[in-house]
Amino acid sequence: MKICFIMYPWERVNPRQDSTLRIVHEATRRGHDVFITHPQNLTIRDSVTLSLCKKIVKKDKVTSRVPHFYKVVEFETEMMPLKEFDVIFMRDNPPMDSLVLNFLDSIKDDVFIINAIDGLREANNKIYTAAYYDPDRAFIPATHVSKNIDYLIRIIEESDQDKMIMKPLDGFGGSGVIVIEKSAMTNIRSLLDFYINRDRGISNYVILQEYVEGAENGDVRILMLHGKPIGALRRIPAKGDARSNISAGGKVEKYKLTAADKAMCKAIGEKLVRDGIYYAGIDVIGGKLIEVNVMSPGTITDINKLNNTRIQEKIIDYLEKVTKERNRLGEDFRPELM
């Protein structure tokens, strides 16, 4: 299998924690041809989409220690036509540069891209979860997306709750997530104005979301592969912080999916696969889906440690199966039917 990771800069990888590194290491350990590149390296020449890639030099033996692998790995630089890969794995950090998807449009029928281009277009920000059809609110808390300050203030005033969650539409890693309270309404207009007009000349959408009871105790991150859960953990916020993201100082603990969690995963997983979202991290509070993370969801390392497992093995197993089926079926291959 020839696989290319389009990811954040290699130099910024935290070798003891990084999830992408675990997947890269597993693919290398199995002897696959592994390349990494970055969005700024994409180019088109003579109608061919290429990228300047770093190819991992194969060795007789690959160390089992991932941090050591990161330290000693060697690369060869090569300009590669992207249609020559079996798999392109999108692992760049949000917010997504939509032009990257324009580059990949030309090869989306030639390569298995995880996640699919159309799926990334639809699901790369928090509107994807907000627009999920759930009239009975079985899985999705009441959610409002707008940049109209007067409308958002009215939503807060009319809410039956004393608290709501506010966050920017394109945030990640818990950035910008805050709890707002009716008791502090005198500050709300100024706060909304800051969030919406923080970029000079550009107004930004914000999300107001029903406060789910138990949110102060953290959330559950579930990793989904082809519509099924393959690992989970609970994230607990740092003292005095509403965010449970690990990057924001949250801690983790072992978590076992409940029957309700599994039912939600089944319902949501079917939609994810239909939309071409084959690998994602979903965040759940009190049985409600809060976010779907489709760009570069983390937590592999922590789930592995808590459960003595290797999530990356399941991911590479899946990609090997996809590649085999795609080679066998050719144009008749439909990943959603696997």
Domains and CATH numbers, the chain: 2-114 (3.40.50.20), 142-210 (3.30.1490.20), 217-310 (3.30.470.20)
Mean pLDDT for all residues in the chain:
91
Q: Give percent of the chain above pLDDT 70.
A: 96
Instruction: State what percent of residues in the chain have pLDDT above 90.
Output: 67
Half-sphere exposure of 118 (CA within 13 A, CB side): 7
Residue 240 has pLDDT above 60, yes or no: no
Weakest mean pLDDT among 82-96, 124-138, 319-333: 124-138
> Which 8-state DSSP code applies to residue 202?
B
Tokens 């992408």 correspond to what residue?
20
**pLDDT score recorded for residue 299:** 96
User: Rounded mean pLDDT of 55-71?
Assistant: 96
Q: Is the pLDDT of residue 243 over 70?
A: no
Q: What is the pLDDT of residues 273-288, one digit of tens each?
A: 999 999 999 999 988 8
Q: Which of 97, 83, 5 is nearest to 48 (CA)?
A: 83
pLDDT confidence band for 10 (50 / 70 / 90):
very high
Q: Is residue 85 over pLDDT 90?
A: yes
CA pair distance 35, 143, nearest whole angstrom: 40
Does 102 score more than 70 pLDDT?
A: yes
For range 136-164, the mean pLDDT: 90
End-to-end CA gap in the chain: 18
Q: What is the pLDDT of residue 177?
A: 86
Q: What is the pLDDT of residues 201-221, one digit of tens each?
A: 788 899 998 888 888 888 999
Residue 166 CB contacts under 8 Å (≥ 6 apart), including other chains: 177, 178, 179, 180, 191, 192, 195, 206, 207, 208, 209
Question: Residue 224 has what pLDDT?
Answer: 98
Confidence category of residue 246, pLDDT binned at 50, 70, 90 = low
Instruction: State the alpha helices, DSSP H only, in 30-185.
Output: 66-72, 98-105, 117-123, 127-130, 149-158
pTM: 0.89
Task: Give me 212's structure tokens.
Answer: 């789910």
Q: Is the model's pLDDT at 175 over the cut of 80? A: no
Whether the predicted pLDDT of 183 surpasses 90:
no
Decide if pLDDT at 96 tops 60: yes
Q: Where are the beta strands (DSSP E) in 92-205?
A: 112-114, 143-146, 163-168, 178-181
- For residue 115, whether the previous peptide bond is cis, meaning omega lies within 30 degrees of 0, is yes
Residue 124, C-beta contacts closer than 8 angstroms, at least 6 positions apart:
94, 95, 96, 294, 295
